[in-house]
Structure 1
């Protein structure tokens, strides 16, 4: 199976690319046979397969369709209508929706039907026979030959709507509670980690560094799932790398991403094992830092200021103030508030008012800024208590 696809975006196509007049031999009755003849048609995912795997398979089918029918077919999974959309008035709304995967025969039939419907839509756009689109067209550019309806639906006023992906089965590290992060399911022995990780890596061949991002993410999630099963939810943080790595803005320096951290299976396993141990050491370090300040009375403003300033600096040093470091900072401060017994909704409000917008990627904040954040958060905690 191929591990990557190359497809032109619909929005980069010109009318010349999609004009149905350029394919007079197109036969809608033969589309079903074409669809079933494509190599990916023999590999329809099972119902209930991971959404990223299904999405990648549909891209493979689209790439194969383009190879057989031409670039115009990339839009097969879109529908189009002029709608009164939110507060923007009546505009062209493109809705991208891939058919649900059921049986292979049903799935391939739906694709064929969608390809024919897309062709029919382009025929309509050529003449605007139903009068649905042309009235919204911008003035024609000299020499383009674009029909008014095409200009109308491809203009700046259009909007594209896609179904949301379902939530992934594993949380991002910033979604962990402090209870998740500090809790060990049994004894954690760093010396045993390389053996555990080597077993997980050996069970599933790592994708190449150039593989489609969905295949890389699925493999990394499988490793995370194995670590969580073995050690607990806290283990998902092994990928929270410093800078613009897998999860962006974290404290882990032993792992970046598959493209930079994965070489041989042995080296990949060694990197993952080191990252997991480093992440656990960071959590244990935070626990020790929390113990220096907690319990902390809510009205002890000076104590809260010292704790917050200390943790902001500790996170900054660990993340090197790289891309997105402030998300790790907010997470750690949220954990401190949780450990201090402050309720979840109030923690969110406190962090939003005191921290959001105060820090930036690749910038070590001035000491005065850190002190201002610490003072603001401390005073808000005290006001809550009062």
Structure 2
């Protein structure tokens, strides 16, 4: 992941500010207006180019009307980690009984969006509850707990599906931003080291999560309290 690009484009403030823009009922009406003429009653199957075009149209509609969080949080429709929805989920017909119902497909779309939105709202509530203490040792403890909690919330939201670890990377970026923590070279290195073991298709063990949290928290505090936490000190 290009972390510089990621920070520039996906910062937390505009995501957090747009969470209230998610209004399922008006979105359902817009999706109905778009999809109903294109998939009339009696449609049995869609060819792949048509389905792809519909998916792109739905994505564009959501990008315009769901709120900035939809485009800036890596939560666009098709991110199977959040809601288990991928482009083949729209009007599926390649295996099993096809679902050509406009209303049922709208329900599936909004359900997937709801998972992503709920995850972001949960993170927002948690971020708002945090405050870093002045004491260095206490700060390590609070930060370490926060990193573990964010990983746990993200693991729960994604159930380890797909590239779920990308969601963890984003969420930890947002955590640090929400706490006004400087993204120094030391902190960047610590994030890369800490998250390396999480870049897999399985959820991390408690020991892996604890180790990642410790690496990140200590790197942050070493930058804030260099005399208390020199390079060789890991307390």
Question: Do both share a fold (TM > 0.5)?
Answer: yes
Q: Deviation per CA, 1:297-320, whole angstroms, max 9, x where unpaired? A: 694000001001111112112211
Structural mapping, 1:34-183, within 5 Å: 176-183=10-17
**Cα distance between partner residues in 2 of 1:223 and 1:355:** 33
Q: Deviation per CA, 1:92-151, whole angstroms, max 9, x where unpaired? A: xxxxxxxxxxxxxxxxxxxxxxxxxxxxxxxxxxxxxxxxxxxxxxxxxxxxxxxxxxxx
Q: Deviation per CA, 1:227-277, whole angstroms, max 9, x where unpaired? A: 2222322123242xxxxxx334x2324xx2243342323322222122223
Structural mapping, 1:1-386, within 5 Å: 176-184=10-18, 187-202=21-36, 211-212=48-49, 216-236=51-71, 237-239=75-77, 246-248=78-80, 250-253=81-84, 256-262=85-91, 263-264=99-100, 265-295=102-132, 299=136, 300-343=139-182, 348-361=188-201, 363-386=202-225
TM-score when scaled to structure 2?
Answer: 0.71
**Cα distance between partner residues in 2 of 1:345 and 1:376:** 14
User: Post-superposition shift, 1:226?
Assistant: 1.7
**Cα distance between partner residues in 2 of 1:272 and 1:349:** 38
TM-score when scaled to structure 1?
Answer: 0.46
Q: Highest relative contact order (Cα 8 Å, sep 6+), 1 or 2?
A: 2
Change (3 A) 1:178 1:185: closer
Equivalent pair of 1:182/1:287 in contact (CA under 8 Å):
yes
Unaligned 5+ segments in structure 1 are: 1-170, 240-245
**Cα distance between partner residues in 1 of 2:171 and 2:36:** 34
**Cα distance between partner residues in 2 of 1:329 and 1:335:** 10
Partner of 1:101: none
CA-based RMSD? 3.2
Equivalent pair of 1:311/1:333 in contact (CA under 8 Å):
yes
Change (3 A) 1:204 1:320: same
Equivalent pair of 1:185/1:232 in contact (CA under 8 Å):
yes
- Size of the alignment, in residue pairs? 202
**Cα distance between partner residues in 2 of 1:271 and 1:371:** 35
Unaligned 5+ segments in structure 2 are: 92-98, 226-235
**Cα distance between partner residues in 2 of 1:227 and 1:372:** 38
SS of 1:252 mapped into structure 2: coil
SS of 1:308 mapped into structure 2: helix
User: Post-superposition shift, 1:366?
Assistant: 1.8
**Cα distance between partner residues in 1 of 2:134 and 2:79:** 35
User: In terms of Rg, which structure is larger?
Assistant: 1
Change (3 A) 1:200 1:381: farther
